[in-house]
Amino acid sequence: MEMIAWYSPEGEVVGEVSRVRMRAENLWHGCVVIVVRSFDGSRVYVHKRTDTKDIFPGLYDCAAGGVIDAGETPDDAAAREVKEELGVEAPLTPLFRTIYVDSDTRYHAWVYEARSEGPFTHQPEEVAWGGWMPFEELKAKLADPGWPMVPDGRAIALEWLRRGA
């Protein structure tokens, strides 16, 4: 059974809990979000989630990321997630910390940026498609509520832009 770090509403680890229980009870947890940009910053790597994901299946996202495992630090989780989902290892720059809350999930997010040109190798259970998107096109898509993007990814990406991405 996969165990994840269980967080308080204030952002402190209070224990561990199964992913199944976290989803069923919408418990506070920690997530990492890693925006992968080209070396010159002009492009962002965007991917489409598989239709089998447990939350927000089949939608687009402009960041790799995931839940922080029990006993794992956010930095370790970020390195693990970008390697698992996109198959790249790149230096990670911490950007900011925020929260995300909706009717399906609530978590503390540690947001990072990585610079890489790939090559990318997608985790087939999580990523159905991926490719580069010009930064200016991504900004336009984030502003379009009709673009099928994960709601948490959109909210965090918009905060990233507000903070001067």
Per-residue pLDDT for 92 more than 90? Answer: yes
pLDDT tens readout for residues 58-90 = 999 999 999 999 999 999 999 999 999 999 999
pLDDT tens readout for residues 115-134 = 999 999 999 999 999 999 99
On average, the pLDDT of the chain sits at: 95
- Spatial contact of 22 and 107, defined as CB atoms under 8 Å apart: no
Kindly report the CATH number assigned to the domain that includes residue 88. Answer: 3.90.79.10
Per-residue pLDDT for 145 more than 90? Answer: yes
Q: What are the residue ranges of helices labelled H in the chain?
A: 19-25, 74-86, 135-142, 151-162
Beta strand segments in 42-126, E: 43-49, 60-61, 64-67, 92-101, 106-115
> Which residues does 40 contact at the CB level (< 8 Å), separation at least 6?
none
- Spatial contact of 149 and 71, defined as CB atoms under 8 Å apart: no
Predicted confidence at residue 137, as pLDDT, reads 97
As a whole number, mean pLDDT of residues 86-105 equals 95
Q: Please state, in angstroms and rounded to a whole number, the distance separating the CA atoms of residues 64 and 78.
A: 9
- Spatial contact of 156 and 33, defined as CB atoms under 8 Å apart: yes
Q: Please state, in angstroms and rounded to a whole number, the distance separating the CA atoms of residues 160 and 96.
A: 8
Q: Could you tell me the pTM of the whole model? A: 0.94
Q: Please state, in angstroms and rounded to a whole number, the distance separating the CA atoms of residues 156 and 115.
A: 18
Per-residue pLDDT for 146 more than 90? Answer: yes
Q: Which residues span the domain enclosing 40?
A: 3-162
Percent of the chain residues past pLDDT 70, beyond the cut: 100
Per-residue pLDDT for 53 more than 90? Answer: no
- Spatial contact of 74 and 43, defined as CB atoms under 8 Å apart: no
> Which residues does 136 contact at the CB level (< 8 Å), separation at least 6?
none
Total of domains in the chain: 1
Q: Please state, in angstroms and rounded to a whole number, the distance separating the CA atoms of residues 42 and 106.
A: 31
As a whole number, mean pLDDT of residues 7-16 equals 97
